[in-house]
Amino acid sequence: MKLYDTPRAPNPRRVRLFMIEKGITDVEIVQVSLLEGAHKQPDYLAKAGLPNVPMLEMDDGTCITESLAICRYLESLYPEPNLMGRDPRETAIIEMWTRRVEMMVATPLMMAVRHTHPALAVLEKQNPAVGESNAESGTRALKLIDRRLAESPWIAADRLTIADIVAFASIDFARMIRFKPPEEMTHLGRWMEAMNARESVSLAK
């Protein structure tokens, strides 16, 4: 298999973190330069269908994009350590928190960076007001995560799961615009320290 990857972007980083946490080492990594427009070239689009990264190319040539779909496929091939649910109940809870994190935190923070960081102007027409509004929305949503982390060491289970990976990749990505979670969110701060201490985070820069 091949994983078409790009540095810095949060969605590809989700998959890198996921793979490192699982100890997956037999997937070839192919770098795709977004700033050079490699994801918009005909050969890439013929496989991906959309100018999206990451993309996983399976051994039979099937290609899938969307980071969570890729992680779900890899989870089925490499079931341990489990990151997406051990039984129907836990799987549903992890899915719920992953959806909440992606919609309420990850997407707004990614939009904030894309619309306000000067280096990303090459990718799309920026609207600073959109970026600022999304930054505010993502910050508000972090209150929910902080409350959840007051009762649990991790976001969705008693261990790190895909929900933690999705949340961390986006919050950390927002550092590009000097974003920091409010200091009063102490439970979130404790969790960020725990995430930053993981070997996967240092390896999946």
Model confidence at 202: pLDDT above 90 = yes
pLDDT band per the 50, 70, 90 thresholds, residue 128:
very high
Task: Grade residue 205 by pLDDT with cuts at 50, 70 and 90.
Answer: confident
Other Cβ atoms less than 10 A from the Cβ of 127: the count is: 13
H or E, element range at 77: helix 67-77
Three-class DSSP category at 29: strand
Average pLDDT over the chain, rounded to whole? 96
pLDDT band at 122 (very low <50, low <70, confident <90, very high): confident
Q: In this predicted model, what pLDDT tens digit does every residue of 4-55 receive, in sequence order?
A: 999 889 999 999 999 999 999 999 999 999 989 899 999 999 999 999 999 9
Closest of 145, 189, 187, 140 to residue 164, by C-alpha: 145
Q: Rounded to whole angstroms, how far apart are CA atoms 12 and 69?
A: 12
The answer to whether residue 119 scores a pLDDT higher than 90 is: no
Domains parsed from the chain with CATH numbers: 2-77 (3.40.30.10), 88-198 (1.20.1050.10)
* Model pLDDT, residue 52: 93
As a whole number of angstroms, the distance between CA 76 and CA 64 comes to 15
Q: Strands (DSSP E) along the chain, which ranges?
A: 2-5, 28-31, 55-57, 63-65
The predicted structure's pLDDT at residue 54: 98
pTM as predicted: 0.95
CA 170, CA 159: separation in Å to the nearest integer?
19
